[in-house]
Chains A and B, each alone.
Chain A
Amino acid sequence: MKNFKRIAAVALIIVMCISAAGCSKKGGDAKEKYGSDVLKVFMPGEYIADNLIPDFEKEFGVTVIPELFDSNEMMYTKFSAGESYDILIPSDYMIERLIKEEQLQKIDKNLIPNMKNLAPEVLNAAYDSDNSYSVPYFWGTVGIVYNKNNVPLSELESKGWDIFRDSKYAGRAYFYDSERDGFMIAAKQLGYSANSSDEAEINAEYEWLLDMKKATDPVFVTDQVIDGMINGTKDLAVVYSGDAVTILAENEDMGYFTPDCGTNRWYDAMVIPANAENPKLAHEFINFVLSDDISRDNTEAVGYASPNGNILDEMVGEGGEYEGNEAYYPRKYDLDEIYHDDEKLRKTLSGLWIKVTAAH
């Protein structure tokens, strides 16, 4: 018995040595080809299919170090402090800022043949007009999830965002706890631009929001809105389209609506920082994410709209994962806007926002 144990131990060591050697050989290949076999990705939490990174690691024989952030601002703070990453996945306005600050490097489109898969809707948006720095990852809109049994669609259509100022719905609404989205909603309803920094307009928006608080006294939440609406605790909620997809899939009483007066259309995209240590592998990663198979896995796991045109059609098409889910494929309105990077505006709004939420 003792002997057997010893043999087993020796066998185990040999196996481990061989597999270790195998690994290092693989890593060696990647090192030769890309200069390094490590890829550092900095992205939002819960925003990727579980199999994506392991599949990529296996296919290319490399190690991916994912790091997660809660908000673009948090990402910016950490990234600006000198931390080096190969891929970042921030939102449109943050990409605009990073481009302005020359913190990104140009994407070599020849290295990303799968760029051809991108849907026309996600290309050439204002934050990076010819996609020379960024490749879309997910996209969507901000809209209203409503309980179809308690809120008539006709009322939403006639009132738009003003439905949150109808005291009939007092105590029956969630509002998204984000200064930019909050002021965007007020601006759109009042017919202003969501990027307006005009003082009088901002004041009018502030008044609109205070008035809304008085009328419906909504609960201000972020991700908690998903569970809340799945359980049907409230009748109205401001929700990102991707989260709405999840809610609609779980609770068939819920519908998704984007007002005609416009909303925010947003994109999260992959970019390569100027100080990336492994830009070649980063291109490989972007190309990998855009492939049809991986795009499908990713959008099915996360629920946000894919940037891949083939997959978008497949998802809402017959037998697709999101067939009949009105939140999945973002509708386009002429008045929809992308946020522009405006740090001063964001700070002004944030200073006012804490007063909106705290007002009683």
Chain B
Amino acid sequence: MKSYRKMTYPYVVWISIMIVLPMFLIMFYAFTKTGNSVVQFKFTFENFIRFFSDTIFLEVLGRSLRVAIITTVICVLLGYPAAYYIAKCSEGLKMKWVLIITFPTWINMLVRTYAWIGILQDDGVINKLLGLIGIGPVTMMYTEFAVILGMVYNFIPFMILQIYTSLTKMDYSLIEAAQDLGADRLRCFTKVTLPLSLPGVISGITLVFLPAVSSFCIPKLLGGGQYVLVGNVIESQFLTSGDWNFGSAISLIMAIIIMISLYVTKKLDKSEIQERSAT
């Protein structure tokens, strides 16, 4: 056993260089500002105060959270039935469905998002079809609808796969037992299947919410430059304003929000398990 432990060393080195060190750098930048020629860096809370005292940044933060939550909810509502259906399919069909769902992720995300521009724009595919039945053109590009659509499209495979995995791992004899004890199909689902698949739903939520709340290329491409989310503000601080300190502060604020949401979902997960074992 002991000799196997050595095999983790490369990974430990990897995460210290690629994850831990950058995190410390972000912390460092977030709490400092460039000083004068004598003192290179000055400790400060200015970057955080700047973020929280400006209504525009708070609006952006609110918008990001709202869009991420809407995206996550839609992914659950669409993804759960899909995963449930796939889990019920025969072995061979299951593999095919999983392949179909993961298939889009083989193509670069930017390319897929660009494709939506052609579909959604005023003279795009959808509007041409609508035109045939005398409707439209409906403006869809550069709206919140386009951004959420793009996010749901890009992130839903993660949700489906997570729920699907937890559904297939479920012991089917539990459902049979419930049926034996006289539970109808609805009761079977709400009392057995749903609680047992919740860990999958929760990890699916994490995998969808996190990229959705920090995404910057989807809003830029489908929402236009005026559809600014937190990810875009961070990007602009690093790439155009060159204000690494402020950019790091916003990144840190986002990291904290994400950590809190992870903690909450984990709590939910645990309380669910405890509740189940108690009943």
Contacts and interface: CB of A to CB of B under 8 A. Distances in A.
B146 to A, nearest CB: 11
A73 interface: yes
A219 B242 contact: no
Contacts of B59: 358, 360
A219 B243 contact: no
Contacts of A170: none
Most buried by B among A222, A351, A353: A351
Contacts of B117: 224
B242 A231 contact: no
A228 B221 CA distance: 13
Given A219-B142, A219-B224, A231 B60 contact: no
B226 A218 contact: yes
B228 A354 contact: yes
A350 interface: yes
B240 A357 contact: no
B226 A220 contact: yes
A228 B225 CA distance: 14
Contact of A233 (B54, B57, B121, B237): B121
Nearest to A358: B228
Nearest to B223: A219
Most buried by B among A219, A224, A228, A354: A354
A332 interface: no
Interface residues of B, number: 25
Interface in A326-357: 343, 347, 350-351, 353-355, 357
B43 to A, nearest CB: 21
Contacts of B54: 355
Report whether over half of chain B's contact residues are helix, strand or loop; otherwise say mixed.
helix
Contact of A221 (B60, B224, B239): B224
Contact of B225 (A71, A233, A357): A357
B243 A347 contact: yes
Contact of B232 (A224, A227, A354): A354
Most buried by A among B54, B225, B236: B225
A355 B123 CA distance: 31
B240 A179 contact: yes
Contacts of B236: 350, 353-354
A347 B247 CA distance: 13
Interface string A239-264: 00000000000000000000000000
A354 B59 CA distance: 12
B269 interface: no
A351 B122 contact: no
B115 interface: no
A177 B242 contact: no
Given A354-B232, A355-B56, A221 B225 contact: yes
A116 B110 CA distance: 44
Nearest to A220: B225
Given A358-B56, A359-B56, A231 B226 contact: no
A179 B236 CA distance: 11
B226 A347 contact: no
Contact of A231 (B56, B122, B232): B122
Interface string B238-271: 0111110010000000000000000000000000
Given A347-B242, A350-B240, A358-B60, A219 B226 contact: yes
Contacts of B232: 354
B123 A231 contact: yes
A347 B239 CA distance: 10
Given A73-B240, A224-B117, A358-B233, A213 B122 contact: no
Interface string B98-125: 0000000000000000000100011100
B224 A354 contact: no
A93 B237 CA distance: 20
A233 B138 CA distance: 12
Contacts of B241: 347, 350-351, 354
A298 to B, nearest CB: 27
Interface string B211-233: 00000000001001110100011
Given A350-B240, A358-B59, A219 B225 contact: yes
Contacts of A351: 241, 243, 246
B175 to A, nearest CB: 50
Interface in A162-208: 175, 177, 179
Interface in A291-349: 343, 347
Interface in B50-108: 54, 56-57, 59-60
A235 interface: no
A183 to B, nearest CB: 13
Contacts of B225: 175, 177, 219-222, 357
Contact of B226 (A74, A213, A224, A343): A213
Contacts of B123: 231, 233
Interface in B135-176: 142
Interface of A: 71, 73-74, 175, 177, 179, 213, 217-222, 224, 227-228, 231, 233, 343, 347, 350-351, 353-355, 357-360
28 contacts: A71-B240, A73-B239, A175-B225, A177-B225, A213-B226, A217-B226, A218-B226, A219-B225, A219-B226, A220-B224, A220-B225, A220-B226, A222-B225, A224-B221, A231-B121, A231-B122, A233-B121, A347-B241, A347-B242, A347-B243, A350-B241, A351-B243, A354-B233, A357-B225, A358-B57, A358-B60, A358-B233, A360-B59
Query: Would you list the 10 A-B pairs with minimal beta carbon distance, nearest first?
Result: A220-B225, A177-B225, A358-B228, A350-B241, A219-B224, A350-B240, A219-B142, A220-B226, A354-B236, A233-B122
Given A221-B225, A359-B56, 14 more contacts: A179-B240, A220-B226, A227-B121, A231-B122, A233-B122, A347-B242, A347-B243, A351-B246, A354-B232, A355-B56, A357-B225, A357-B226, A358-B57, A358-B60
